[in-house]
Amino acid sequence: MRAGGAGGRKPRGEPGKGGLRGREAEADAQGPGVEARIAAGVLLNAALERRGGMDEVMGKAEVAALSGPDRAFARAVALAALRRLGEIDAILDRRLAKRPSPAVMTILRLALAQLLVLETPAFAVVSTAVRQAERDGATRQYKGLVNAVLRGIGRDGFGPTDPVANLPDWLAARWRATYGEAALAGLAEATRHEPPTDLTPRDPSGAEAVAAAVEGDVLPGGSVRTRLKGDVAGWPGFEDGTWWVQDAAAAAPARLLTARPGETVLDLCAAPGGKTLQLAATGAVVTALDRSDSRLKRLRANLARTKLEAEVVVAPAEDWEDARQFDAVLLDAPCTATGTYRRNPEALSATRPADVAKLADVQHRLLDVAAAKVKPGGRLVYCVCSLEREEGETQIIAFLRRNPAFRTVAAVPAEVGAPNEALTPEGWLRILPSMWAERGGVDGFFVARLERVG
């Protein structure tokens, strides 16, 4: 097998030399060992089983007992495996007569993630993978297979890979039909790359100063994209509340609402709260509502850190008994979140076709709730971090048909920090993760601004 394609570089190191046992100490000296790989497997499988599973198991013993660097390594390996899962499985399938048990596949997937993405030295990957197999009775008999497969890849290279393989077949088919073959290629390529971190400055006029402090660049619209890595709590400006973490695309909807000082603004489904902070920073009088008190804890903490104010209400939007109407309403509706796969690759594996219709029904109801809260002459912004038309364009088309008192107000991408190519003929924004590729990409969003004229 020859190396080729985007994944065709040969793994570093030569696992065939020196004897596996004789190099265990050297492998350990390269960094995290077997325990970190076991934890990575726990994280990977939790993410494949359910949305949010990786975050839920961070407190489990296999993960929590690790040192901080080992825990970070385990998470990095699991995320790398998730992002490139389709390519990794294709490489392995060329080496396997048939797939072994899920436990063995986990070991092999993690090893390939280290070789293909993290470029860990091959001898260290092989050594720790074999020892990981030895640790469990269910995988011990396959340690020879693990050794042979990884040594063969180390010898021959990865072979050609296609990033479209990283997308579930049903999503690839949907996106091909919706956006076309060229766009699908860009969407698939975006699965391969760890996204940079974006920050929203509390004071938009201070964006350049924030960028200088965090080794970043100011993006169109005023977000700051930083090159820093690691715990954000230690970055300059965090303790002072000078900024908060928020993807550049996620910052566009609140900017599109154009809240002004003294206006009353309702942020529906507000948690975790980045948009609430943006709205409060304009000087508007903000009410932030969400059904989850636990998710609102983060919003309350960020309000305190940034010294911003908002009324925080815990209630389901459909059951909230409050007669007030507002100058502006923002609805960031619950959705499949398929546009966030750059940061949350588990969104691809955790989402099922039935979820689209189920959540579209929720969005339909919430849009009507939001519309009733808008004063005559007021504004409504609807957004979802989904790439599915049923959750975006189709929702607004149907809403405008049943709500003739509303009309679209066209967005100006440059004013809100969205890619120019995101503007649709209707005046909405359809932001794709493949846009701004030269800057490091952006999360996928649909955003529409409406005005109540009657």
Choosing from 269, 335, 383, 385, the catalytic residue is 385
Query: Can 335 be counted among the known catalytic residues?
Result: no
Helices 122-135 and 143-156, interaxial angle, to 10°? 170
- What span, in angstroms and rounded, lies between the C-alpha atoms of 9 and 143? 25
Can you read off the two tokens belonging to residue 11? Answer: 């793994």
Helix axis angle, 274-281 to 293-306, nearest 10°: 40
C-alpha distance from residue 336 to each of 28, 268, 347, 353 (Å):
40, 17, 8, 10
Q: What is the amino acid identity at position 97?
A: A
Collapse the DSSP code of 162 into the 3-class scheme (helix H, G, I; strand E, B; otherwise coil) and give the result. Answer: coil
* CA angle 26–31–33, rounded 5-degree value: 85
State the DSSP string of 24-56: HHHHHHTS--HHHHHHHHHHHHHHHHSTTHHHH
CA pair distance 310, 288, nearest whole angstrom: 7
Dump strand ranges (E) for 147-280: 197-201, 216-218, 224-226, 243-245, 264-268
CA–CA separation, 436 vs 415, rounded Å? 16
Residues in contact with 398: Cβ distance below 8 Å, sequence separation at least 6, in sequence order:
364
Q: What share of the chain is helix, strand, coil (3-state, %, to 5)?
A: 50, 15, 35
Could you give the angle at the alpha carbon of 269 between the alpha carbons of 265 and 273, nearest 5°? 75
8-state DSSP, 115: I
Q: CA–CA distance from 127 to each of 33, 124, 134, 229, 351 (Å)? A: 9, 5, 11, 28, 35
* CA–CA separation, 392 and 446 (whole Å): 6
d(CA 200, CA 244): 5
Other C-beta atoms closer than 10 Å to the C-beta of 200 total 27
Which residues are part of the catalytic machinery? 385
